[in-house]
Structure 1
Amino acid sequence: MPPRASSAVGSSVFNLTGLLQSLPSAVRSQAFTKCSTCLFSTTPALEAKASSRKRKARRHIDPYRLAQARQRKAANLARQKVLNAERKLALGDPVRSRPTPFIESLHSPASLETVKESYLNYLLKQEELKQTLEYSRWLTEPLPESNQLPGANDNLAERIKEHADSHENATKALLAITSLESGSSKDRTRANVQRCIGEFGRHNTDKLLPPRLLSKRAPSPSSSAENAAVEIPKRIGQDTGSPEVQIAILTTKINVLADNLHKKDKSNKRNLRLMVHKRQKLMAYLRRRDRGGARWQNIMDKLGLNDAMWKGEISL
């Protein structure tokens, strides 16, 4: 029986760690690269992780370039804010009108002195009031007695003088009652509506403004005998239904309501929204029909209207 190997010999044979440490570095790296049985890589994975960490290192940021970028961004934002304000100012307010002489005459207290001479309360006119006063004076004027008794007409002159004084007092009282100074804002708005009808009604503007522009595709009136024979009927009375008159009336009411609108007044805010959208529809219709002609320019200049009142969507 062969002799059994001693423990010292066995430890020196199977101690691979000491054997590998005794090898040179080049041989040791080759030994750790791949296993002979499973071909598994050991150290290259660690080297790949280390190299990826080096690649993902944070890039150096220049603080000077970063400050320049921030300055450019701040300048662009400031310029954008200025441009938006200019566009909003050019577009205008969709509710309030620009101050024009006609708009200021509708609301300024100083213009009441000139308006009250032509317009009165309760839809009265100066001619009607004068005729009523003359008729009342004629009815109450004292007449001489019909009997011829002596001394019957001695106090006739005194009665005529008393009648003249009382008629003068009654005239002053009626003028004070029917004056716009003693009326409410509703009465002044009613008078302003009458002014809008007289200013923009076609029974007056047809004599001053040129007719609407005709399309080139539309046949001319002189092209056929039938068209030439058709006559446009004349207007009877005041014009209250044309779009420019309705726009002027709505503008007057909108300005009054916007000046007296409170924060929690939801009912009047809804009424204001309805009137603004109704005016927008009328302006778009007049713009489409008149093609930016004389009537369109007339209401835009006198009422102080702008593009924000008829373009796009209006949100209040």
Structure 2
Amino acid sequence: MYLFMSPLIEINDLLLADKSNLIILDARGFAGAYDRYLAGHLDGALFVELDRDLANVPENAANGGRHPLPSPEAFAGLLTRLGITPETHIVVYDDKAGANSAARLWWMLKAIGHQQVQVLNGGLQAAINHGVALSTDVVVPQPAAQPYPVPLEFSGTVDIDEVGKAAHDDARLVIDVRENPRYLGQTEPIDSVAGHIPGAINVPFASNLDASGKYRSAEELQAAYKNSLGNVKPEDTIVHCGSGVTACHTLLALEHAGLPGAKLYVGSWSEWSRRDLPVGKEERY
């Protein structure tokens, strides 16, 4: 049994952390991620790639969205190759203030029951701002002596049918974390249809951050999300984004705020928008 571990770690605390049971993961995503890793990363950090390691990208995003989860077997195999055991303390970061693949990897680990995992608050930029010297070494992982136990599933997810029902249930809430113009259907730079799931509210993930790119305080986030949730319990809340990645930033924010239990719709707008389903373009308050 582990004591509660904050989902976030500050760069100064990371520098002082016990390194004997620590693995740092650089989880950048999207085009050029590995090149950016090679150009400078935290000393000792292992590279994890979104499309290759944290998703099972389909030919057609109508089947699970643009970033469906890998199988539990594949994810356990990745952790084994990275030298991770169930007792490993993991710190993960990206170069987008933790808003992209770092939060996704944090959520995936929590969803299989891994307890000791944290996201570097402010991401790589926080380390740079602190004066940390970056490394250009290619770090080769040492596989774990024993395979990571294969989890039964990723807990805390909902499918397309459930999210559609929840969006019209007063006792439940669906939160779309994309930028407001995308939610309103004024623009759609990635997916084929603009708009949102009818009945969903919009709380852009960027509202989780302060001006420095770090998460706002737990107290601030708790007040903001209690206002958004109203009478709906966190465990009756579903969060989504474009493809199930950035939504994890909000799931982390909710846990940081002391409001854990919300579910992830992994397929998100990238799946919904390809299924010829109703599309909303009006703000819901």
TM over 0.5: no
- Band of TM-score, shorter chain: under 0.3
Relative to its length, the structure with more helix (as a share) is: 1
Find the structure with the greater CA-based Rg.
Answer: 1
